[in-house]
């Protein structure tokens, strides 16, 4: 019989890839972000990374007029409309639900592995709230996030707004491991 010191616990299971992604632009318009996010290139890459379900909350943005990526025959290649879409990329299925606004955006954010957002305070707070209480320290928050290493917030400041508050917020939150800031090329 092996001694207790020779028994090693099994290694922890590898983190499963992220499965869900949410895009939110809040109540404003951020058409460049929506158009880029709903492009073939972006959705195909997300599919390759394991994303199976996407919610795109587009606010007052204009929907791309390009054909839906990942649809079969040319007769099915319609432009984007509000509602759910079933797409396929190299045999991998993906559901993309497009909506203008949501009564439960905070709930949708808390259920998503990845959140792509304009760098508005409301979107950032909605991402943080499920892992924060009034007595939560920065270390506690980091520990909760590390339990789901797939949970990530990608911030893209909206340069079309009149002031730079989204850039300021993005700069402030960029220090955390669970935030990535995506800036427009200069």
Reading phi first (left if > 0) and then psi (alpha if -120 to 50, else beta), residue 157 is in beta
Among 102, 118, 127, 106, CA closest to 31: 118
Range of lowest pLDDT (110-119, 120-129, 156-165): 156-165
Task: Tell me the pLDDT band of 160, cut-offs 50, 70 and 90.
Answer: confident
DSSP 8-state secondary structure symbol assigned to residue 92: E
**Contacts of 162 by beta carbon, 8 Å cutoff, 6+ apart:** none
pLDDT at 165: 85
User: Is the pTM value of this prediction over 0.75?
Assistant: yes
Domains and CATH numbers, the chain: 16-181 (3.40.50)
Q: What is the pLDDT of residues 75-84, one digit of tens each?
A: 455 789 999 9
Cα–Cα distances in angstroms (integers) from residue 24 to residues 77, 112, 123, 133, 176, in the given order: 25, 11, 7, 23, 20
Strand partners, 12: none
φ, ψ for residue 117, nearest 5 deg: -140, 155
Among 16, 56, 4, CA closest to 147: 16
Q: What is the mean pLDDT of residues 28-32?
A: 92
CA end-to-end span of the chain: 66
For residues 119 and 113, the answer to whether their CB atoms sit within 8 Å is no
Please state, in angstroms and rounded to a whole number, the distance separating the CA atoms of residues 124 and 60: 19
């Amino acid at each position: 019989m092996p001694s207790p010191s020779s028994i090693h616990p099994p290694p922890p299971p590898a983190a499963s890839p992220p499965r869900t992604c949410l895009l939110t632009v809040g109540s404003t318009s951020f058409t460049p972000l929506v158009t880029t996010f709903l492009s073939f290139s972006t959705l195909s890459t997300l599919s390759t990374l394991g994303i199976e379900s996407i919610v795109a909350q587009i606010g007052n943005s204009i929907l791309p007029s390009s054909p839906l990526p990942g649809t079969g025959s040319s007769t099915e290649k319609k432009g984007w409309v509000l509602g759910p879409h079933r797409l396929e990329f190299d045999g991998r299925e993906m559901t993309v639900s497009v909506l203008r606004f949501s009564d439960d955006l905070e709930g949708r954010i808390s259920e998503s592995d990845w959140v792509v957002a304009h760098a508005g305070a409301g979107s950032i707070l909605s991402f943080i709230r499920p892992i924060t209480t009034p007595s939560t320290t920065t270390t506690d928050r980091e520990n909760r996030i590390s339990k789901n290493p797939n949970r990530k917030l990608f911030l893209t400041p909206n340069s079309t707004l009149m002031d730079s508050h989204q850039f300021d917020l993005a700069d402030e939150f960029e220090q955390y491991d669970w935030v990535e800031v995506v800036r427009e090329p200069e």
